[in-house]
Structure 1
Amino acid sequence: MQNDESKPDLADLFLRASRVIRGRWRESLIPMGITPHQSRVLSLLGHAEAEGLRNSQLAERLHIAARSTTEVVDQLEAKQLVVRTPDPADRRATLIALSPSGRAQLGKMSQLRRDSMAGYFEKLSAPDRDELARLLEILDRENPRSPRHGCK
């Protein structure tokens, strides 16, 4: 029987696994010419209304400064993955939305994510993967940034 001192530190194990997952994701994006920050913006826009989001909304959802969001959007616009249009509700603001090529890129990224993570999680049996998903969903219930709480 393990005492508290000999038990693995769950937070440390979780952080190490998270680092591996983020690293694999970052590496898999390189051939697409997309950074993890850019992929996050594309993902948020993919879940947004068709007309898009304001820069301030993107910044709020990413928990970063609006000027940082502007830089990422500029990069994505240069790659023709997003378009900016005037906001009909406020002529001082613009809306950012996926372009058709951005939507196609998002589809490719989704498949890429599944493929790149399959190798990592295949070490677990199917019942173990199901159990891990169940446990992570329990932990995610307390996450105010979770899609379950209305954030996307």
Structure 2
Amino acid sequence: MLKHMLPQESGPDLVDLFNRSSRMLRGKWRHALTPYDITPHQVRTMMLLGRVDAEGMRNSQLAEKLHIAPRSTTEVIDQLVAKDLATRTPDPADRRASLITLTDSGRELLQKLHGERKQSHEEFFSTLGDDDRAELSRILGLLVADAPGDPRC
């Protein structure tokens, strides 16, 4: 009777290591956001809004860039508006639509969060020396070189 066996791997499972690293980074980021009472989804939305700043974006544009359903974007925007981090104003080009922009409070928080994110990631990569960081950056750059841009952070 033959037993079915999986081939033994000769080295580390790269996908598993990559996924574990990614989960750890996301966990550190979520933890860093706790004092601000904000979620990663809300931060990603704020980052997109911060890039267009004065112009604002329609809900449908945000949904498209975030790769989520417009209904989900509406919920995130509702949460940001309730926290006075974003605002809706009538779209002068289409009065049925609204433009979403960051408030001054939203811009200030986004600036703080950029620093928090940098610090969180710096802590994660602190065990790597300069040469290892450069090599990891080079390798990851190869993997994403031909991939279309993804606005999610």
- Could you tell me the TM-score, scaled by structure 1's length? 0.89
Change (3 A) 1:87 1:104: same
**Match status 1:94 vs 2:98:** yes
Could you tell me the percent identity over the aligned residues? 57
Q: Distance in 2 between matches of 1:142 and 1:95?
A: 32
Q: Secondary structure at the match of 1:70?
A: helix
Kept in 2, the 8 Å contact 1:140–1:146? The answer is no
- Paired residue for 2:31, among 27, 30, 55? 27
Range 113-122 or range 44-53, more displaced: 44-53
Deviation string 1:102-142 (CA, Å, 9 cap, x unpaired) is: 01100000000011111110100011112212222222222
Change (3 A) 1:94 1:69: same
Q: Secondary structure at the match of 2:21?
A: helix
Q: Distance in 2 between matches of 1:83 and 1:75?
A: 11
Q: Distance in 2 between matches of 1:142 and 1:11?
A: 19
Shift of 1:12: 1.3
**Match status 1:60 vs 2:64:** yes
**Match status 1:18 vs 2:22:** yes
Shift of 1:49: 4.9
Q: Distance in 2 between matches of 1:80 and 1:71?
A: 14
- Paired residue for 1:145, among 129, 142, 149? 149
Q: Tell me, which stretches of 5 or more residues in structure 2 are unaligned?
A: 1-7
Range 46-55 or range 92-101, more displaced: 46-55
The correspondence of residues 87-126 of structure 1 with structure 2, limited to 5 A, is 87-126=91-130
Alignment match, 2:134:
130
Range 77-86 or range 44-53, more displaced: 44-53
Letter in 2 for 1:28: A
Kept in 1, the 8 Å contact 2:53–2:102? The answer is no
Change (3 A) 1:100 1:49: closer
Letter in 2 for 1:72: V
Deviation string 1:49-69 (CA, Å, 9 cap, x unpaired) is: 521111001111111110111
Q: Distance in 2 between matches of 1:137 and 1:93?
A: 39
Deviation string 1:31-88 (CA, Å, 9 cap, x unpaired) is: 0111111111111111125211110011111111101110110000011101111111
Shift of 1:21: 0.3
